[in-house]
């Protein structure tokens, strides 16, 4: 899809900011701020490092993943990517935008469990969504772009393996000056998931050429 086509379809979002508060973590000391999408009521969170970046800030758009982020599931790489993002941004400066309401690439938690069941029966992550009659990726980044603008950020280094995010952000008025890899060591439990993202969703995943992490 061309950038102009995305721009025509991407709705403008309005966000309401909450207070900025200190958030000390095992990855460093951050400032956290809640943002509410005025149209949908969905609440998001920015986690920002006090470190002044040398160039454009490093930004991770992290889609909520209860199984990976909270329960450390090995079916995906989400939880480990979140930890990687917090560590890198703590060192280099920048922001993690934790985007809620995007479970399962936007299909919701219950449908994600249904998709998992289909994957256990042989479908890949794309086929499972299609068999459920759901979009392969239903995420909307208009609120993320609105949050970045409200924070005074117009150009970023994007921490992601997904080039489509860069194209979408550009259509929403956020310049991506560099794509920074968000690869983490893969596991046998998420090998097929990552191979499908690489082969069918154009994610940049050179890590699959290395040796998988063994489960302890």
Tell me: the pLDDT tens digits for 160-183? 999 999 999 999 999 999 999 999
- Is 100 assigned to a binding site? no
- Is 165 assigned to a binding site? yes
Give pLDDT, residue 10: 52
Q: Is the pLDDT of residue 85 over 90?
A: yes
Contacts of 166 (CB under 8 A, 6+ apart): 158, 160, 176, 179
Torsion angles phi and psi, residue 184, rounded to 5: -125, 160
Give pLDDT, residue 216: 55
pLDDT in tens, 102-123: 999 999 999 999 999 999 999 9
pLDDT band at residue 196 using 50, 70 and 90 as cut-offs:
very high
- Reported residue count of the chain is 216
- Is 63 assigned to a binding site? yes
Give pLDDT, residue 186: 87
- Is 22 assigned to a binding site? no
Query: CA 15, CA 147: separation in Å to the nearest integer?
Result: 7
Give pLDDT, residue 23: 98
Helix (H, G, I), strand (E, B) or coil at 10: coil
Summarize the confidence of residues 139-162 as an average pLDDT: 97
Give pLDDT, residue 215: 63
What residues are paired with 61 via a beta bridge?
97
- Is 65 assigned to a binding site? yes
Domains and CATH numbers, the chain: 3-102+139-209 (3.40.50.10990)
Instruction: Just list the catalytic residues.
Output: 137, 139
pLDDT in tens, 4-20: 343 344 557 999 999 99
Rounded to two decimals, the pTM is: 0.90
Nearest to 165 by CA among 150, 151, 152, 178: 178
pLDDT band at residue 2 using 50, 70 and 90 as cut-offs:
very low
Share of the chain above pLDDT 70, in %: 93
- Is 142 assigned to a binding site? no
């Amino acid at each position: 899809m061309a950038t102009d086509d995305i721009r025509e379809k991407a709705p403008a979002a309005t966000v309401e900011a909450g207070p900025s508060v200190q958030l000390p973590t095992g990855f460093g000391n951050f400032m956290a701020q809640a943002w509410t999408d005025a149209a949908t009521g969905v609440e998001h969170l920015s986690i920002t490092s006090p470190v002044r970046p040398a160039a454009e800030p490093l930004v991770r758009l992290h889609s909520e993943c209860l199984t990976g982020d909270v329960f450390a599931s090995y079916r995906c790489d989400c939880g480990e990517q979140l930890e990687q993002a917090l560590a890198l941004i703590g060192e280099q400066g920048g922001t993690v935008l934790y985007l809620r309401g995007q479970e399962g690439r936007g299909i919701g938690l219950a449908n994600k469990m249904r998709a998992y069941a289909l994957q256990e029966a042989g479908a890949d992550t794309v086929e499972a969504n299609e068999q459920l009659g759901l979009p392969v990726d239903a995420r909307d980044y208009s609120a993320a772009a609105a949050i970045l603008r409200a924070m005074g950020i117009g150009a970023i280094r994007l921490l992601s393996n997904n080039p489509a995010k860069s194209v979408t952000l550009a259509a929403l008025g956020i310049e991506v000056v560099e794509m920074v890899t968000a690869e983490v060591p893969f596991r046998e439990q998420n090998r097929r998931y990552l191979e499908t993202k690489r082969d069918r969703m154009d994610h940049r995943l050179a890590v699959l050429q290395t040796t998988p992490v063994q489960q302890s």
